[in-house]
Structure 1
Amino acid sequence: MTLSLPSGELAPVGKSETAQKPSLVGLSRTDLAARLADLGVPERQTRMRARQLWSWLYVRGETDFLAMTDIATDLRGELEANFTLERPAIVTEQVSLDGTRKWLLRLSDGKEIETVYIPEEDRGTLCISSQIGCTLTCSFCHTGTQKLVRNLSAGEIVGQIMLARDRLGDWPGATPPDPRGLPDAARKISNVVLMGMGEPLYNFDNVRDACAVAADGAGLAIGKRRTTLSTSGVAPEIPRWGEEAGTMLAISLHAVRDDLRDTLVPINKKWPIKELLQACRNYPGLSNAKRITFEYVMLKGVNDSVADAKELVRLLAKIPAKINLIPFNPWPGAPYECSDWEQIEKFAEVVNRAGYASPVRSPRGRDIMAACGQLRSESIRQRRSVQLAPST
């Protein structure tokens, strides 16, 4: 059974007092110090006050300036008057039969994104978005049917993590309001993947800055080895991402021939497979301990032959890699079917024999359209019957 839980009444967009204030969520220590200086805090105090603010924001998850008891009362009042700590607002929460949770989130300008939490026995992975919509129109991906609206700010990216920690009770001393299916672990969110809506390398600076805030060990503490950026193949930015952010990397490959990948992942027309794989070989720090994950969606009769598997192995030679085989997750109007399980096993056997780890990703959250390739929001509210109509 799928539960849809409305989050309650929302303030009309543009009429909320806090919506007019800039947010401190997502700011670095340096930026927090700059905001304090703008309020007139003496230079000799800004580092200390920024450190206090940082701890309240990213260690304790505080949402009320007035509760920050080690900050002077008059400064708390100034912060309250000039800034906000709001996260994105939950419009709906859906809980899958397998425990996966999907949140439709409303941003301060009324636009909407989706964020997914995937619990496992001893860990939890948060799948976050980097854009509203997407420009890439990958033919197997539901998100690609929604036109790009805009990039997310660093604060809106970090805000997804903080909202999820609020909802999961993942702050020190907090209790989850809904504990169903949560892992038996001290940290409910142990990993973050940039695999939600959008192409993160097309929002490079904001995604990089958000990852830096999230990775700080004296804050959210989701380190580079526990953060994975997934790209459809923006080849020129891949080495730069490794230099400036250094997270784990995943490549949405999905085909071994340029003619097919041109259809499945149209960005391939700009940066074909050979150029993309060379960028991967140039990824800083690439090693057996820091392998690139290649994502490969299994489409019946399209890219799932044994010959495709052998060519995949040939293409990835000498790249420290893991290959994730992803059973296609259907969505209304999708032009593809998932490969038969027997065929997936034959494909995986070829890859495994070549020495690559090739787990078949278990579909999670299919019943609430939260699985890989199924995310899509509407920035303009529509009737549900319209939202579920087949694409044309």
Structure 2
Amino acid sequence: MDKDIAIKVQNVSKIYKLYDKPIDRLKESINPFGKKYHKDFYALKDVSFEVKKGETVGIIGKNGSGKSTLLQLITGVLTPTTGSIQVNGKVSALLELGAGFNPELTGIENVYLNGTIMGYSKEEMDKRLDDILSFADIGDYVKQPVKTYSSGMFVRLAFAVAVSVDPDILIVDEALAVGDMHFQLKCIDKMKSFKEDGKTILFVSHDIYSVRNFCDHVIWMMDGKIYLRGNVLSVTDQYMDYVKSELEQVDTPISGERKNGILNIDAVTILNDNDEEKNKFLFGENIKVVVDYTLSEKLPGVIGGVAIFDRRNSYICGLNTKLDEVKLPTSPGSYQLILQYKNMNLLPGSYFIDVGFFESSGIVPLDYKSRIASFQIFSTHYMAEGLTLLNHIWNYKKRT
């Protein structure tokens, strides 16, 4: 394998035998004619890709698409039915809750158990223990059996162990969604430092905003295969369109709220140039979106964003302070974030607004509210078709 390649997956399939009844397994094993009583289920089918050293690759897809199976194969928890996987470097993984930990052992005993699995001696883990316990910050619970832990406590200890062994390749599978906000920020800082140090990261998440802000490339898994791989924005845009179309088929609106208490969106108001609250605007008018929010704790950085969608849930435009290099206050207090759209050229129709705040990397949401406000655009005459009116000039000339 090329020395610049961290992970090479080649023609990998993982097949499970599914039996209608438990006794069918026995019938199949003793049948003299080799009759099959099972159906083959492909959790993965002929998957191939490479990850270069130092890359951060996001893996997205619906539940059951093969993401977790793929990671378990890469980490060696599972073995492929066909194909091969080559890994160049030491791997540390934070998979689904429970993986790699013995529930009957205490937290400290599990720390040493995982160190042994990773190839470290007791003396080497002794040197790391204080850092692990400090990072996990679960107090005396570390002396209790892991089966008594909450999911948040488990993630704290599991992540602390995963990053303490200084791996070449870090694999994280959705686990960070369980921890509290402060711990998520601590984990993200650690992952960012890993990325800056040139380590390879595989990051599985259903949070497309996190994937967009953290990953270099994206793999979209569907039905056990790689459906698409490439540029973060291109792949995630197509994935979000796919998810929206799926939701529309079952008549489920796209909405949601993600918050943690450190920052709260208090109100969103839509104003005209005279600071009058309105929800109907003439085509070409200026529109001002005012977001009242409260920050209760000091943070190293805050990102605010506003997105516009049409009534078909098409993503019209998303702006945020990170992209425009605008710095927001980081000290506790009550604030207003004001965004003004100049000469709004959206064509007549109804539009909806999402507002969100994120920590400095744009990965962890502080507060996010979907469809929190709406407005309408109207016109005195018919102008064009579609979503927006583009500046244009018509002309003609006679052909010679």
Which of the two has greater strand per residue? Answer: 2
Which of the two has greater helix per residue? Answer: 1
Q: If you compute each CA radius of gyration, which structure gives the higher value, 1 or 2?
A: 2
Q: TM-score normalized by structure 2? A: 0.29
Q: TM-score normalized by structure 1? A: 0.29
